[in-house]
Amino acid sequence: MKRNWALTPYLIWMIIFIVVPLALVVYYGITVNTDSGVAFSLSNFKRFAEPIYLRVLWRSIKLAIISTIICLIIGYPVAMILAGNSFKHKNVMVMLLVVPMWMNFLLRTYAWLTLLEKNGIINSILGKFGLPMLNILYTESAVILGMVYNFLPFMILPIYSVMSKMDYSLIEAAEDLGANSLIVFRRVIFPLSLPGVVSGITMVFMPAVTTFVISRLLGGGQFTLIGNLIEQQFLYVGDWNFGSTMSLIMMVIILISMLFMNKADGPERSGGLW
């Protein structure tokens, strides 16, 4: 009670800049502008159910899932190797993993153009070895590559974090009980690393499903994702109602995936918001 003066500025801030804006999104999402004024309507949800939009939604989810899986496949071994004893200075290695993120992510993504272009660096290297050209720029593959590139560290770090805290004597105990290295992995290491995996999946899937920048830069505008649709509605089309409706749908997707992931994470971590 006594020190609530400390909380007051934030409470006011929170209401104005968090609660009210979201309420406005909800308001726009469930209303339409008619000649006689604003009216409650779910017609924008119906509109989203049209195949053209559903295809965009499906593509967003599909690309995000593919990227997440690729990140997991590439990232899990990296996390495991880093947590193991292959490298003397683990901390330095982890730091090196994080360092690229200090460069503006738009620029890093943009640099892939240089690498992927028809006459770009990768193709000139491939050409020197007489290998076939790689023409993935402005395709779905390029978008996936961009997602994997940008979000891979978010898969590696949480898994590494869990694995490096793992009690090594558990592995020794399993070996002592006669488990070979495959069984040790399947029965001990992998189950124990699951919280990290779950975190990693959420951390990759969420930004991947909502991005509009990667698809714009590497997909050349052809591969419209739900993020691009929302951007267009607000900045070019000016249909805030439809844009808000799609934002609400996106929030629901995130909500569902987080609920799903939290469940996978085990009951002990439930609580909090989602």
Partner 1 sequence: MVRRFINKFYVLLVFLFLYAPIFVLMVYSFNDSRSRGNWEGFTLRWYVELFSDRQIMSALYYTIIIGVLSAVISTIIGTAAAIGLDRLGGFRRELVMNITYLPVLNPDIVTGIALMILFVFARLQLGFITLLLSHITFNIPYVMLSVLPKLKQLDKNLYEAALDLGATPGYAFKTVILPEIMPGVITGALLAFTLSIDDFVISFFTTGSGVSNLSIAIYSMARRGINPRINALSTLMFLIVLALLIIVNIRMSKENNGKGEKNYASKKQVFASASSSDRVSSSRLYELEQQ
As measured in angstroms, the least distance from the Cβ of 4 to partner 1 is 6
As measured in angstroms, the least distance from the Cβ of 186 to partner 1 is 18
**Three-class SS state of 32:** strand
217 touches partner 1 by CB under 8 A? yes
Residues numbered 75 to 104 that lie near partner 1 (CB under 8 A) are 77-78, 81-82, 84, 86-87, 91, 93-104
Residues numbered 24 to 63 that lie near partner 1 (CB under 8 A) are 24-25, 28
SS3 track for 176-223: HCCCCHHHHHHHHHHHHHHHHHHHHHHHHHHHHHHCCHHHHHHCCCCC
Residues numbered 1 to 20 that lie near partner 1 (CB under 8 A) are 1-11, 13-14, 16-20
Listed in sequence order, the residues at least 6 apart from 138 whose beta carbon sits closer than 8 Å to its beta carbon are: 218, 219, 220, 222
**Contact assessment for residue 143 and residue 177, using Cβ atoms and an 8 Å cutoff:** no
213 touches partner 1 by CB under 8 A? yes
The DSSP element (H or E) to which 266 belongs, if any, is none
**Contact assessment for residue 208 and residue 250, using Cβ atoms and an 8 Å cutoff:** no
Count helices and strands (H / E) in the chain: 14, 2
Point out which span in 36-44, 49-57, 127-135, 152-160 binds partner 1 (CB under 8 A). Answer: 152-160
Report the residue from 56, 163, 174, 230 that binds partner 1 according to the rule CB under 8 A. Answer: 230
Phi, psi at 120, each rounded to 5° = -80, -175
219 touches partner 1 by CB under 8 A? no
Report the residue from 107, 129, 168, 178 that binds partner 1 according to the rule CB under 8 A. Answer: 107
Point out which span in 41-49, 52-60, 62-70, 207-215 binds partner 1 (CB under 8 A). Answer: 207-215
